[in-house]
Amino acid sequence: MYYGIDYTYIIYVMPALLFAMYAQFMVNSRFSKYSKVYSQRGMTGAEAARLILDNNGLQNVQIRHISGHLSDHYDPRTRTVNLSDSVYSSTSIASIGVAAHEVGHAIQHATNYAPMSIRSAIVPITNIGSSLSMPLFIIGLLFNFDFLAVAGIILFSLVAIFQLVTLPVEFNASNRALRTLESYNMLSDDELGNTKKVLGAAAMTYVAALLTSLAQLLRLLAIFGRNRDD
């Protein structure tokens, strides 16, 4: 049962999925809580992002207002910081923290931060791996083509590698954000502490993504080994 629930799913994947659900709950809960706590300076997420960008010589990086909830991201292709409805015009400490985090990615891009460069470089092959790994693995098992199953496992491992490289990128962006917010006096000490809780919860979702990928990879190895024994 490659997509069903068998003992390999229960042993390897289910604990990781439960942790991922917990991490997602925590980030939603903390963002919701601190999106109701407004900063003393009254600066919006977009204003905070613009200030940090300009102070780092990144006047050419644009800020865009996009739809969605927590859909914020930095796009290195267009050099744009994209802020969602709940961040762009909000003066909450959660919104300022998220905006500063995304600007952290823009700074990483501008300074050629190595993990981000590596992540960007492996995106195309990771996309191939995520789309072809499972079909190759299943076909290999069904027709006893071990080389196809192994190819599927190798391709899926690229997904785990991508998630691994993503961790320092995200943690570094959050650390940059917190240091910047503190050094620019954009948030008070209390506000900064609560913003750290929001960014910390967001970081855990990336840890959960890595654990889920590793768990699925272990499951594929277990299924492949069992199939060979049979």
Which residues carry out catalysis? 102
Residue 227: exposure state from Cβ atoms within 10 A (0-12, 13-18, ≥19): middle
Q: How far apart are CA 188 and CA 93, in angstroms?
A: 10
List alpha helices for 85-145, DSSP H: 85-88, 93-110, 114-142
> Tokens 């300074």 belong to which residue?
111
Q: Which residues contact 16 (CB under 8 A, 6 or more apart)?
A: 208, 211, 212, 214, 215, 216
Q: Do the Cβ atoms of 20 and 208 come closer than 8 Å? A: yes
Q: Which residues contact 91 (CB under 8 A, 6 or more apart)?
A: 38, 39, 42, 43, 44, 45
Residue type, 86: S
Please report which helix (H) or strand (E) contains residue 63, including its range: strand 62-65
